Each structure stands twice: as C-alpha cells, then as structure tokens.
Amino acid sequence: MARRQTTRPIAYMSPAVLALALLGNAPPPEGTATEATAAHNRAVAASLPLADPRDFEDASRGLLAQIDHDILNPDGSVAWQLHARDFLDGAPPATANPSLWRQSQLTAIHGLFEVVPGIYQLRGYDLSVMTLVRGKTGWIVIDPLLSPATSQAGLALANKVLGERPVVAVIYTHSHADHFGGVLGVTSRAALEAGKVQIFAPHGFMRETVGENVLAGTAMSRRAQYQFGATLPPATRSAIGVGLGPALSVGPIGLLPPTHEVSAAGETIAIDGITFEFMDAAETEAPAEMVFYLPQFRALHTAEVATRNMHNVLTPRGALVRDALRWSRVIDTMMMRYADRSDVMLASHHWPSWGSNNVRARLRDQRDAYRFLHDQTLRLANKGLTMDEIAEDIGEPDFAAQDFGTRGYYGTYKHNAKAVYQRYFGWWDGVPADYDALPKVEQAKHWVDAVGGPDAALAKGRAAFDSGDYRWAATLLQQLVFADPDNAEARRWLAATYEQLGFQAEGGTWRNIYLTGAAELRDGRQGEAPDTASPALLASIPTADLFDALATRFDPAKMQGKEAVILFELPDTGEAVTLDLRRSVVFPRMGKVDQPDTRLVIDRADLNRLLGGEVTLPALLQAGKARLEGDPANLAHLFGAMDQRISGFAIVTP
C-alpha cells in the first residue's frame, strides 16, 4: 500500500496544515531546554532545600583513597570511566531537574571510605556499593558489584591502603546482578571448590537469580538499557545518573553459587570471627533478600531495602511486583530491633547515616514512604479510581519535602502507585474498553484517522509541544509514529518531546527512559543489551532451571519434526534430563527414561559452552566431547525451533 501523502502545495493547505506551518518547521535544537522546561526546573529548585549540606557531609565522610584511572576489562575495554561525571561539579543546567542533579552529584562521589574501623566501602565505581568487613584472617566482601573489573579494582585499592588480606567470605544480600555479577573479581571458582571462600546468600537466591537473569533475561536486558541509560553518554544534556547510583559498569556478569543460603527464619552466623545477625527481607526489594546486623560494630546493613531514595515497587526493566506492605513491615522490624543498638546504618547503595537517632529517623521515613504508597493507592482504588487516576492523584508524603532519601530518584510515587494497583488488581483498570484493547499499531492507525489524518495529528502534537503540554504531545505523536514509523517529522517531534520530559524528570530512570527513547528515534537502535546468559553465568545455574530457560526459547512455528523423547545425560554432574518434544511445547523433566528416541551424552560444562555460543555440537561430537545415539534429526529439530538470542528489539517504534 502506498504511503499517504503528507504535504500539499501551500495554496491548498488545510486548516491543520496551516496551523502546522505557523508553529514553525522544526523542533528546538537537540539538547535545548524550552522555556517551559526551564521554568519547571526553577520551580523544583524553589520548592526543596537543595542547599542542605548534610548528605554531602555523610557521602564524603571517611574518605581514605580514590582510584585515579579508568578501570579496564581484561580485553582492554573500559569497565568504568573515572572522569565521566566531572561535569556534575557545576550548577544544574536548564536541561536537568535540580533535585536529580543534586542526587547525581552525591552518587558520583567516589573512593574507599571507612565507615567505622573494620568496615569499609567502595563507592562511586558501579551502580552499587561494595562493603568490606575486616575479619580475623581476611576480608568479608558484601555485594561484589556488577562487573569483575570494578570489584577487583576496588579490592586492590583496599588491599593497598589497608593491607593485603585474602577474601575468605562473600555475602550476596539479594538476587540482583549488580550485587553478585562481579564476584569473579574478588575470588574464583577454584577458591570456592578448594573451600578457601564461603558464599552466603538469602534463601531462594539461586531460583530468583535464574528467574530474573535467564528466564526473562533478554527482555529485561533490553528494557534495562532504557532504565539505566546504558547507551547514553554522560553529559548535562544526557545521562547524569540513575538515582540509585552513577551508572552500570560494563563487563561480563559472573556468578558463583552460595555455599549457604540463610533460612527464612534468619540466622546468627560467625564468619571469620565476626558475628552476623541475618534477618530475612524476602519479597521486599527483591524476592530473595536479607539484611544483617553486626553487634561487634553496632552497625546495621540494610542491603537495598532502605537506601537514600524511594525505590521501585515495580522496576521499569520488569520484575515481579514487590509487596509494598511487607516492605514497610520489614523496615519497621529493622527499626524496632536494631535502631537503638546501631551507631551507623549502611546499605548496598548510597552512603551511610551515623548516630542512633539518625538511623531511627531514616528508617521511619523509609518505612512510611512504602506504607503511604500502599495505603493511599488502596484508599483511592476503593473509591473507584483507576490505576492512571491514582498515579495522578497520589502525590507524596509530607516528609518527602525534607528527607531527600524518600524522593523519587529511582522509584517514583506515581509509577509505584501503579505497581501497588497491579499487585492487588492486575493489569486491567476496570474499564471494559481496556479489557481487550487493540494492539498498539492498530490502535494508532485508528487514532490518526480519528483526528483527521497524519497532517492533523502532527499539527496537534506540535501545538501541544508549543504549549508545554509534553505528556499530551507524547501521546499524540507516539500514535502517529506507531501508525507510520517512517514519518520523519513525527519522529523528530516525538524525540523533542521525550527530551523535554527527560529534562524535567526528577527520577533518574524516567530521565534515562525518555532520553534513550529520543536518541533511538533520532539515530536508530543503539548498543547491545548485557549478556545475561554467558557461559560464566550459565555454569552456576541448576540444570533443571537451565532447561526451563531453554524451553522459553521454543517457537512452535519453527518446529519441523515429529514428536520425540530426547535424553540428555551429563556425566560430570551425574544428572540426566528428559525432554518431551512436541509440536507446540518442549517439556523438560529431571531424570532418565529407558528408551529415548535420541540420547545425547555431554558434560554440563560443555553444554554451557554450547548454549553460550562458544562451540557447536558438531565440533563437540568430532572432538569426542559428546556422544549421540538414536535419531540425530530430533536434536536438529529441537535446536532449529529455538529462537536465537537477540540484543535488542524496537521500543519507541513498532
């Protein structure tokens, strides 16, 4: 079908096209804040005590040393660019929300810090924070960052300044990759197998790690590019910080399995002479999470349950919806159990708070932020408001005007209210028209026709932009782009609209989402999503979970063979997996069957390499690393029906 003509000679201009012409021919230059955006950001600055120095004092306290060079991966690529955020030293420009600018200045403060004698933190070298506790014989490492290069560099700095010590234990506080992915930078699989290092994690850690990083890893990784601004360069008009931390490091994600999963009841464990009182915090910020108290130091480590921002009840990258009510109760338990016994509170992100009164105050505000979200969402839902209406009306608690640690730098009250609604009521807002709505592209085509065609839609979108009504402009222009993704004018104006929304956003994730969308509209898709199924990560995944992940890649439309039973035997682990291969489903089951149609004998280590793309099955068979019996066509049909892993898919266009 030929594309609809979108321009006409001037003598025949419709009213819509005439209005379009009067508004100007092009959006503002890229990276320019409009007066509406500048005014919005000035109003934010006037409404908050941005000059309060206490967070800066805490974030700088105890600085011992700093890394003075870029951190490189083994292949020479840059894992962490040291001076990328030096521009934050200045005053906030019109292109940045001044509240987010302040938070980004704080998270950019980097170095090795002494929290109290015996507890140290590496901050500002990754999204997360790595904590070191000096044990009787060596280091206990808590949350070894996302990438091995950054955790290794941080440990090297600590050893240089504080004295060389072996790593005798690692603690993963929860099941998110920025808290375990760099483990191979502080220890090794050989050390683990030799019993030289213990690894502690909350109960359910491996199951939840598989769910978030393998089963749904491809889609989450692509969406995470938006959330974290992974393809955006650091700049005043681009990425300035995530709110939770400066940025993600770049490098291979690894994993070593825990030697001990702490029970749901909590446990008190002596690790290298240090007593850890572990408390369960599952189903709060992560499905598998724990916090701990160190009585020897009068120190409370709150993992990611209580940090210096409002967190996500539903993260933009995607995850299971978190329980805001339980979250508030866990924080209350921490407060009642430990606040009066704590001289310092530290976490897996941001900087510590010192003094028992401050610990109690911080925990109380954090507790009540999540309780406010929960209770006000349900109050409004029970009055008949829909999810979007609740998000518009919920506002923020009074103490958020003074306690920056409860502001929406990472999670926001608006989108977290939608998450609470979703947890209780699901995706449907109760409006019948929304129950079986048209897919976005079909809906967009109808929208464009309903407003009078592409010219009228563009004119209305540009008029909304000109009036500073960027949310409505984004709605109109997005419909036009989805109806006709080749409409260059619509793409330019939608990109300009997203950019203004990003410049106004207080949430680091919101800014990144809008600015990444703008960049992709202008330049096409950029970058590659992190590989969440690398051989290093696959090696630590239980075999049953690995085959479940494989089954999620099965495409019935590609299945060309007949039904079959395929047996995988893994001699190095002593395991076997039976696959019931059908036309529409492949069902894995641990264990053997007596007479499979096809039998493949392959070490689990080689299977990891095969699934990670490092080697082919014919090469393994030829090298004697695998043995095949029965009909080989069944394996060909199985693997032929598997979707190939992709690094990206369209988001801002169909």
Tell whether the model's pLDDT for residue 17 goes beyond 50. no
Closest CA to 626 of 641, 593, 611, 604: 604
Q: How far apart are CA 498 and CA 34, in angstroms?
A: 12
Lowest mean pLDDT among 68-72, 110-114, 217-221, 222-226: 217-221
Tokens representing 41 are: 């950001």
* Dihedral sign of CA atoms 514, 517, 523, 526 in order: positive
Domain boundaries, the chain: 62-425, 542-640
Query: pLDDT tens, 291-321?
Result: 999 999 999 999 999 999 999 999 999 988 9
Q: In a 3-state reduction of DSSP, which class is residue 204?
A: coil
Q: How far apart are CA 504 and CA 43, in angstroms?
A: 11
Mean pLDDT of the chain: 93
What are the residues facing 576 on neighbouring strands?
569
Residue 1 has what pLDDT?
A: 30
Residue 536 has what pLDDT?
A: 67
Q: How far apart are CA 415 and CA 430, in angstroms?
A: 18
CA 327 to chain centre: 19
Q: What are phi and psi of 33, to 5 degrees?
A: -85, 130
Contact present, 476 and 448 (Cβ < 8 Å): no
Residue 22: pLDDT band (50, 70, 90) is: very low
The reply to whether 62-425 and 542-640 are identical in fold is no
Q: Residue 556: CB partners within 8 Å, gap ≥ 6?
A: 583, 584, 585, 641
Q: In a 3-state reduction of DSSP, which class is residue 565?
A: strand
Closest CA to 145 of 132, 134, 164, 135: 132
Tell whether the model's pLDDT for residue 326 goes beyond 80. yes
Query: pLDDT tens, 23-80?
Result: 557 999 999 999 999 999 999 999 999 999 999 999 999 999 999 999 999 999 999 9
Residue 218: pLDDT band (50, 70, 90) is: confident
Residue 169 has what pLDDT?
A: 98
Query: pLDDT tens, 540-572?
Result: 788 998 999 899 999 999 999 999 999 999 999
CA 517 → CA 318, 445, 478, 512, distances in Å? 17, 21, 11, 8
Residue 11 has what pLDDT?
A: 32
Query: pLDDT tens, 345-392?
Result: 999 999 999 999 999 999 999 999 999 999 999 999 999 999 999 999
The CATH architecture annotation of domain 62-425 reads 4-Layer Sandwich (3.60)
Closest CA to 234 of 75, 104, 417: 104
Three-state SS string across 44-107, please? HHHHCCCCCCHHHHHHHCCEEECCCCCEECCCCCEEECCCCCHHHHCCCCCCCCHHHHHHHHHH
Q: How far apart are CA 345 and CA 535, in angstroms?
A: 37
Residue 211: pLDDT band (50, 70, 90) is: low
Query: pLDDT tens, 71-113?
Result: 999 999 999 999 999 999 999 999 999 999 999 999 999 999 9
Residue 625 has what pLDDT?
A: 96
Closest CA to 573 of 540, 599, 524: 540
Asked: is 542-640 a CATH 3.30.1050.10 domain? The reply is yes
